[in-house]
Amino acid sequence: QVQLVESGGGSVQAGGSLRLSCAASGATYARYCMAWFRQISGKEREGVAAICRDTDNVTYANSVKGRFSVSQDNAKNTLYLQMSSLQPGDTAMYYCAAAGLIGKWRLLLTLAYSSWGQGTQVTVSS
């Protein structure tokens, strides 16, 4: 079983930056690929960025390309999301997710992930 704990959310003005962290524990094979999703109240959860261990599989949603960067520190078992040039449209609850090895075309699909954190709120004001 995988446990995921997000941190780093908060309130920021448009144009600002935040870095989210996701501390992971549990079987390594079950968190081979990890991702960030976000959800606005009343809307579906959407994939933001994903990365797989020891591979070149990194992918981003078009809406965040060039502004967000996903990375991981395997020694610390931590996933990061560096968010820059934040916009009010980025306001959402951000979730960390983990899965085993999955294909690149599935990396931003919610159904591909079996483990989820509780989320951290990001609020961007104009």
Q: Quick one: average pLDDT of 78-102?
A: 97
Confidence of residue 57 (pLDDT cuts 50, 70, 90): confident
The residue assigned the tokens 């962290």 is 21
Q: Quick one: average pLDDT of 5-12?
A: 98
Q: Please return the burial class of 107, using the count of CB atoms within 10 Å of its CB with bins 0-12, 13-18 and 19+.
A: buried
**27 pLDDT above the threshold of 80:** yes
Confidence of residue 88 (pLDDT cuts 50, 70, 90): very high
d(CA 15, CA 87): 6
Confidence of residue 1 (pLDDT cuts 50, 70, 90): confident
The answer to whether 6 and 22 have CB atoms below 8 angstroms apart is: yes
**115 pLDDT above the threshold of 90:** yes
User: SS3 for 43?
Assistant: coil
